[in-house]
A and B are shown apart, each in its own frame.
Chain A
Amino acid sequence: METQENTTQQELSGNNMIEMIKVSRSYPPDIHALSDISFHVETGEMFFLIGRSGAGKTTLLKLICNMEMPSNGLIEVAGYNINNLKGKDLALLRQRIGVAYQDFKLLNDRTVAENIAIAMEVSYKKPRAIKQRVRDLLDQLQLSSKHDLLTGELSRGEQQRVALARSVANSPRLILVDEPTGNLDSTTTEKVMDLLTRSNKAGATVVIATHDASIYQNSNNRILELREGMLHSLIRGNEI
């Protein structure tokens, strides 16, 4: 397993973390969520996906993490055609991808700490290391007092931060975040962006889907705008 993990890490250190060529996604009967999307995200880049609700941002993130299959086109993550991966290979790659979903996907009958720990347990991290990492993350996101609370008892803003903490917990090489600041005030938004920036500086590629202009304006990061499922523009933040 160690060898396989090393291989994955080697692959993850390639030039492009994400490569999409002419990717489309349709739903029956005739809904085109994404049409002919082509772009790449470099390793170590912080990349923004923007667009109005229904533009296709969430669908694009789901395609990248193989939650959904494209109707057409090629998606490569860390050099792998992600749609060809199966079983253990897919599981190992997913361990290196952290995802904060728009609907959080938290287990409401588990505590905050247990929810965050899940991401590390599946890659067999030591219990002591898991505990320490969970405490650090909760501290960074100002959730230390919620450690033993069930996630079902938290506010939406707190749940959002727990989902974000879980996505970065396993120190993944690719972090996909869907609307990370949707339910947060400006101070907490800053904390969340700090955490994502720190992960990015530590080497992780970060893709953020958002319609909150305050977090990408005036940055030097690339921004891809989607409109009605099609690529509208690909510019840098400070070009807006």
Chain B
Amino acid sequence: MNFWFAVIRQTGRNLRQTWSSQFMTFLTVSLSVLIFAFFSLIYTNMLGAGDRLTDDLSLIVYLQEEPGLAMKEQLRRKILAFDEVEELRFVSRTEAYERFAKQLGKDSDVLLDMPTDFLPASIEIVPLRSLRGYSQIKLFSEYLSSLPGTEKVQYGQEWIERFYHFVRLLTIVVVLSGTLLILTATFMVAYTIRLTILGRQDELELLKLVGATTSYIQTPFLIEGILQGLLGSIIGLLALYGLFQWISTRFTGPGILNFFQFDFFSPFILIAIVVASISLCALGSYTSIRKFLLI
């Protein structure tokens, strides 16, 4: 019989003897992983949606007057002085009128009595991808508003503002829930191992007296923690996948979820969650071993 065989058998014994508290801990770990992963999944999908939203982002600067060539050059220089942009295009009053008429299509008759210069001239700016964060766009927009001859700057402020506030709120929820759930899971595992140790003091003392090595006594408790982390995270993630599938099939069609293109975690993230869960549960187990297993 080798060390690992003996240790695994001892672990099996421990689990059999304390199965009810072990089961409760396992449920706690699973639920913690499920809740945390659920919020993380929404969060990552929101970030993805945010990226997609900003793909089509452009700022429109409405001007008080039609700029001349020299003015155009001046404005271009001023804008580029703030930062590089992906695209910068001047739209004259006439061009704006033609675009509008085209958009109206068959109904363009309504414009017949209107002068061709009733729409303001504007500058359309597509910022660089690296400059599409909410605060950066806001700063850029403020800068553009301060340029001479600017009437108004538009980029769908309200919608983007609300979206980014939601994402910020979600970040807080994910971080808070993550921290609390990590603490809960670690504490529960530590507490269960502590109960097991305290409930088996006689056996542990006997093992010590008959010559069991420290690793022979400690390793089963560590394995218990690792198993809690492994099984708890796998079951938690499986439950999340079930929930994800249910949501995906239930909410297919032209809804908001389609717009957001709801994706599940990548294999890398899944492995990272399992590894993190194992590490935290092993840590909880280890602290109990260090504190209560006086050998």
Q: Bound state CA distance, A135 and B212, in angstroms?
A: 23
Is B214's CB under 8 angstroms from A91's CB? yes
Residue from B1, B2, B207, B214 within 8 A of A118 (CB atoms): B207
A125 on the B face (CB < 8 A): yes
Q: How far is the CA of A126 from the CA of B9 in the complex (A)?
A: 13
A99 part of interface (Cβ distance < 8 Å): yes
Q: Which residue of B lies closest to A127 (CB)?
A: B1
What is the total number of residues of chain A having a CB less than 8 Å from a CB of chain B? 27
Give Cα A91 to B217, complex, Å.
11
Complex CA–CA separation, A30 to B207 (angstroms):
32
Which residues does chain B contribute within 8 Å of A67, judged by CB atoms? 209
Name the interface residues of A112-164: CB closer than 8 Å to any CB of B: 118-119, 121-127, 130
Could you tell me which residues of chain B, from 187 to 219, have a CB within 8 Å of some CB in chain A?
A: 202-203, 205-214, 216
B6 at the interface (CB under 8 A from A): yes
Does A200 sit within 8 A of B, measured CB to CB?
no
- A206 contacts chain B at the CB level, 8 A cutoff: no
A93: CB under 8 A from chain B?
yes
Indicate if the CB atoms of A119 and B210 lie closer than 8 Å. yes
Q: Which residues of A contact B118 (CB under 8 A)?
A: none
- A32 located at the interface, meaning its Cβ lies under 8 Å from any Cβ of chain B in the complex: no
Which residue in B5, B9, B210, B214 is a CB contact (below 8 Å) of A94?
Answer: B210
* Inter-subunit contact B210/A92 (CB<8 Å): no
Q: In the complex where A105-B206, A107-B202 touch, is A91 in contact with B212 (Cβ < 8 A)?
A: yes
What's the Cα separation between A107 and B201 when bound, in Å?
Answer: 11
Taking CB atoms, residues of chain A closer than 8 Å to B213 are 87-88, 91-92, 122
| Nearest Cβ on chain B to A128's Cβ, whole angstroms | 10
Question: Does chain A have a CB within 8 A of B268?
Answer: no
A-B contact count (CB 8 A): 59
Interface residue B246 (Cβ < 8 Å from any Cβ of A): no
> Would A125 and B202 count as touching, CB distance under 8 A?
no
Q: Which A-chain residue is minimally distant from B5 (CB atoms)?
A: A124
B3 on interface, CB distance cutoff 8 Å:
yes
Please tell me the number of chain B residues within 8 Å of chain A, measured between CB atoms: 20
Which B residues lie within 8 Å of A118 (CB)?
206-207, 210
A223: CB under 8 A from chain B? no
Asked, given contacts A105-B206, A107-B202, A107-B206, whether A124 binds B3 with beta carbons under 8 Å apart, the answer is yes
**Using Cβ atoms and an 8 Å threshold, which residues of chain B touch A166?**
210
Which residue of the partner chain A has the closest CB to B207? A122
> Shortest beta-carbon distance, A199 to chain B, in Å?
16
- CB <8 Å contact, B211 and A124: no
* Residue numbers in B under 8 Å from A96 (CB-CB): 211
B17 CB contacts on chain A under 8 angstroms: 109
* B205 partner residues in chain A, CB cutoff 8 A: 105
Q: Across the interface, which residues of B come within 8 angstroms of A92, CB to CB?
A: 211, 213
Contact indicator A91/B211 (Cβ below 8 Å): yes
**Chain A positions within 8 Å of B1 at CB level:** 121, 124-127, 130
- Alpha-carbon separation in the docked complex, A95 to B202 (Å): 18
Residue interface mask A55-91, B partner, CB < 8 A = 1: 0000000000101000000000000000000011001
Taking the nearest CB of chain B, how far is it from the CB of A5, in angstroms? Answer: 11
Q: Does B211 contact A95, Cβ atoms closer than 8 Å?
A: yes
Q: How far is the CB of A143 from chain B (nearest CB, A)?
A: 19
Determine which residue in A92, A122, A126, A130 has the highest number of CB atoms from chain B within 10 A of its CB, and name it. A122
B214 touches A122 (CB 8 A): no
Of B202, B208, B213, the most chain A CB neighbours within 10 A belong to B213
Residues in B neighbouring A91, C-beta threshold 8 A: 208, 211-214, 216
B202 touches A122 (CB 8 A): no
Provide 25 A-B residue pairs closer than 8 Å at the C-beta atoms, listed in order of the A residue: A65-B209, A67-B209, A88-B213, A88-B214, A91-B211, A91-B213, A92-B211, A94-B209, A94-B210, A95-B210, A95-B211, A96-B211, A97-B211, A105-B206, A105-B209, A121-B1, A122-B6, A122-B207, A122-B212, A122-B213, A124-B6, A125-B1, A130-B1, A166-B210, A170-B210
Given A91-B213, A109-B17, A124-B3, 18 further pairs, Cβ under 8 A: A65-B209, A67-B209, A88-B213, A91-B208, A91-B214, A92-B211, A99-B209, A118-B206, A118-B207, A119-B211, A121-B1, A121-B6, A122-B6, A122-B216, A123-B211, A124-B6, A127-B1, A130-B1
